[in-house]
Amino acid sequence: MKGVFALAPIAVASTVSARTFTVRNNCAYTARPGLFTDPNVGPTRPDQPTGWEAAPEWTLQGDGNLDYYDVSLVDGFNIPMAITNNVNYPVADCPVDLTATCPGELASAAGCASACFANLDGNQQDSANCCSGSHSTPNTCPPDGVQSYDLFKGACLNSYAYAYDESSGTALWTCDSSLNADYTLTFCP
Position 175 in a domain:
yes
Domain CATH code at residue 179:
2.60.110.10
Q: Which helix (H) or strand (E) holds 133?
A: none
- Whether residue 15 contacts residue 24, with contact meaning beta carbons closer than 8 Å, is answered with no
Phi, psi of 68 (to 5 degrees): -115, 140
Position 123 in a domain:
yes
Note the pLDDT of residue 7: 41
Position 37 in a domain:
no
In the chain the beta strands, taken as DSSP E runs, fall at: 21-25, 55-62, 66-72, 76-77, 81-85, 92-94, 107-108, 111-113, 173-176, 183-187
- Per-residue confidence of the chain (189 residues) as pLDDT tens digits? 444 444 444 444 445 568 999 999 999 988 766 555 455 555 555 555 555 568 999 999 999 999 999 999 999 999 999 999 999 999 999 999 999 899 999 998 778 999 999 999 999 999 999 999 999 999 999 999 999 999 999 999 999 999 999 999 999 999 999 999 999 999 999
Position 59 in a domain:
yes
Nearest to 175 by CA among 93, 67, 56: 67
pTM of the model: 0.82
Nearest to 83 by CA among 63, 64, 55: 55
Note the pLDDT of residue 144: 96
Expressed as residue numbers, the domain containing 60 is 51-187
Distance CA 56, CA 81 (A): 8
Position 144 in a domain:
yes
Position 43 in a domain:
no
Note the pLDDT of residue 29: 87
Note the pLDDT of residue 4: 42
Position 19 in a domain:
no
Note the pLDDT of residue 54: 85
pLDDT in tens, 50-75: 555 689 999 999 999 999 999 999 99
Look at the chain and report how many structural domains it folds into. Answer: 1
Position 10 in a domain:
no
- Whether residue 117 contacts residue 53, with contact meaning beta carbons closer than 8 Å, is answered with yes
